[in-house]
Amino acid sequence: MLLPLPRDAAGVFELSLEGRVYGTLWTGVASVLALLDESDQHEWRFTDDNFHWQSAEFYRHSKGSGKIDLTISRIGGISPKSVGAGDDERVLGVLVRRIIIKQKQK
């Protein structure tokens, strides 16, 4: 997904995400990868299926397009059907409630 940043934004930023995963009862701790601008990778760990805040710092080298490219993927997602918890065959990843991006103090 493309997230907006001011066109003149450069420096250190903090990306905070409030989200949850499905299936930790069956899989244990869930790992979620966040890839920023196709180069800066962070791993977040969810210990249960509740909503949690996760964050990552990243550096924006120069003034860019005014957008940041964020890709989020869960490693080893499962479907409710695969664990006998319903008929839903979709492999569930991450449910995102909120994303906040703030520039750190210079």
User: Does domain 2-103 match CATH 3.40.1190.20?
Assistant: no
DSSP symbol at 25: H
Please give the model's pTM, rounded to 2 decimal places: 0.83
Contact 55, 42 (CB under 8 A): no
Q: Please tell me the predicted confidence (pLDDT) of residue 105.
A: 72
**What are the tokens at 62?**
């120069």
Helix ranges (DSSP H) in 20-104:
24-27
Q: Please tell me the predicted confidence (pLDDT) of residue 82.
A: 94
Q: Please tell me the predicted confidence (pLDDT) of residue 16.
A: 95
- Give the domain ranges of the chain: 2-103
Reading the chain (106 residues) residue by residue, the pLDDT tens digits are 888 887 777 788 899 999 999 999 999 999 999 998 888 899 999 999 999 999 999 887 766 677 888 999 999 999 999 999 999 999 999 999 999 998 887 6
Phi-psi region of 37 (alpha: psi -120 to 50; beta: other; left: phi over 0): left
Q: Please tell me the predicted confidence (pLDDT) of residue 35.
A: 93
